[in-house]
Copies of this chain bind each other. A is one copy, B any other.
């Protein structure tokens, strides 16, 4: 009850502050026309096509009463300017990743991915049934935004390197594209983290501005062609074990919808989350095979020793982030409490099953 009041209060304040530019979608012949800005290159597999799928679902399911026009990164605003644009009402909604905006609030990191954190299934469970969505609403209301999970990449890979990583020492001095809390851990390991939107990674890698990069996994990464420059890929990633790609609505636009329209949008977001997360899992193996067999990539498993060092550094980073401000602490504590229980259930279910399934060769 108090939280609802807090959110309402924040909304009213935000509306008051930006009254001159109060966001309302364009309406033509009774059709609500929304502008959706994204952090992804046009038609990019998974991230871009998933954003388009959400837009198409809303248009079809609403019988064309809500239209969403998608703009790729750079078409209306830059890849990492979409949060600002939706906050200001220049655009109605975005498809992006919350951790790009960690500079506005460290709490936003928890709504993309946390080093040594939750897998996609565990993330969905926390957001939808563990208090995560309510906290996300509280954090985003500060920026006049209402968010949903729009897809989940699943466990991301460790990244692309021009040289082998044989010990944790090899991260020292390494300039690597790795955003969010993963970047903070990379820094703690002695490396230099860089945040770049997807479309700018390959030129930076080719120019030698960065030595290494992570992006998502085989399916997404192949589309950018990182294998042309870096032949060593590592798995699993410690830094993004189940990343949410978010859909963020301008809060005035969101509150302008009636209850049924809101349910329609929430339902389309959940359906896209379901369908796209499954696509990441379905397309990864054949991409992995192509990278290894056609493009000469070597996939190495990180040694337990390296992974342990990453874990120790991750723990330090999380303890520090928790001290950023009261709301970040509240989100951190909810996430970590959920993580404790989630690990128990994952061991009883997926982890033990996958371990034992491998005992018999089919």
Residues of A within 8 A of B (CB): 57, 60-61, 63, 116, 119-122, 124-130, 154-155, 157, 217, 235-238, 241, 259-260, 263-264, 266-271, 273-275, 277-279, 281-286, 288, 299, 301-302, 304, 307-308, 311-312, 314-315, 318, 336, 339-360, 362
Question: Could you list 6 further interchain pairs (A-B, Cβ under 8 angstroms) beyond the known A61-B263, A116-B360, A119-B350?
Answer: A119-B353, A124-B274, A129-B283, A270-B271, A307-B356, A343-B358
A217 closest partner in B (C-beta): B349
Query: A61 — which chain B residues lie within 8 A by C-beta?
Result: 61, 260, 263-264, 267
A61 closest partner in B (C-beta): B264
Bound-state CA distance A299–B154 (Å) is 29
Q: How far in angstroms is the closest Cβ of chain B from A114? A: 10
Q: How far in angstroms is the closest Cβ of chain B from A136? A: 14
* Main DSSP-derived SS at the A contact region: helix
Do A286 and B341 touch (CB < 8 A)?
yes
Do A120 and B121 touch (CB < 8 A)?
yes
Bound-state CA distance A81–B120 (Å) is 36
Closest 7 CB pairs of A and B: A311-B360, A129-B282, A270-B271, A155-B349, A274-B274, A125-B282, A285-B341
Bound-state CA distance A124–B362 (Å) is 21
Bound-state CA distance A50–B184 (Å) is 40
Query: A279 — which chain B residues lie within 8 A by C-beta?
Result: 125, 128-129
Query: A315 — which chain B residues lie within 8 A by C-beta?
Result: 360, 362
Q: How far in angstroms is the closest Cβ of chain B from A117? A: 9
A238 closest partner in B (C-beta): B356
A303 closest partner in B (C-beta): B356
19 contacts between A and B (CB under 8 A): A60-B264, A61-B260, A61-B263, A63-B260, A119-B350, A124-B278, A129-B282, A217-B349, A235-B348, A236-B348, A266-B271, A267-B267, A270-B270, A270-B274, A285-B345, A286-B341, A311-B360, A336-B362, A351-B351
Do A278 and B125 touch (CB < 8 A)?
yes
Bound-state CA distance A297–B258 (Å) is 48
